[in-house]
Amino acid sequence: MKEKVLISLNDITQQAISGHYDAHGGIGDGHCVIAFSFGYRKMADGIEPGISNQDLAKFIEVNIKNKPLILQFEIADALRGNYDIYRIEKHRRSGEYLGTDEVAKQAFDIMKSKNWKTAIIVAHPHHIPRVDAVCRKLGIETIVPKGLEKIRFDPESDQEWTKNKEAWAIRERLAIKFYSENGLI
């Protein structure tokens, strides 16, 4: 029987602000990987992943072998090598922001179509507490690996809240409150 991970709203907030998250489960037990991007860099010719997403891609390359990957596109674009990738590029409703909950919902739909139950969740260490809570709320059995604390903020990110810890803490408190009030965590 799988261990049930329970975490309070206060714990999610404290972990998101500190970047010290609760790792749980073993990578070998995952059916797939779901990776959530963290910022991006807007360039004249489009979007580049930036260092946070490059770090997330490198984490996958080094630590996770032979698992299908469900990736937000910024991480997919930073990944080197040949992988079995399902890309999440945009919200299903035209013009809507592709947020954490929408990425998780699209990933869960892919998982259901493949009969996968357990996902290894990869995200920035300050983002992982909310990501994990959203995925579990949907019914995804999650594995949160150790080692994500090495993922950096990107001072050149186009998203102000992903540039540094202070900007993240301000926005993430509001995001967690919103997610809680709307039944997403």
| Per-residue pLDDT tens over the stretch 78-95 | 998 888 899 999 988 888
Please give the class, per CATH, of domain 9-181. Answer: alpha beta
Domain ranges of the chain: 9-181
What is the pLDDT, as a whole number, of residue 20? 95
Mean of per-residue pLDDT scores for the chain: 93
What is the pLDDT, as a whole number, of residue 128? 97
pLDDT, tens digit, for every residue of 132-171?
999 999 999 999 999 999 999 999 999 999 999 999 999 9
What is the pLDDT, as a whole number, of residue 84? 82
Is the model's pLDDT at 27 over the cut of 80?
Answer: yes
Is the model's pLDDT at 5 over the cut of 90?
Answer: no
Report, as an integer, the average pLDDT of 38-60.
Answer: 94
Is the model's pLDDT at 45 over the cut of 90?
Answer: no
What is the pLDDT, as a whole number, of residue 3? 47
What predicted TM-score, i.e. pTM, was given to this entire model? 0.92
- Cβ contact 125:109 at 8 Å: no
Strands 118-122 and 141-143: parallel
Output 43 or 106, whichever has higher pLDDT: 106
What is the pLDDT, as a whole number, of residue 1? 37
Report, as an integer, the average pLDDT of 21-29.
Answer: 95
What is the pLDDT, as a whole number, of residue 44? 86
- Partnered with residue 33 across adjacent β-strands are 69, 120
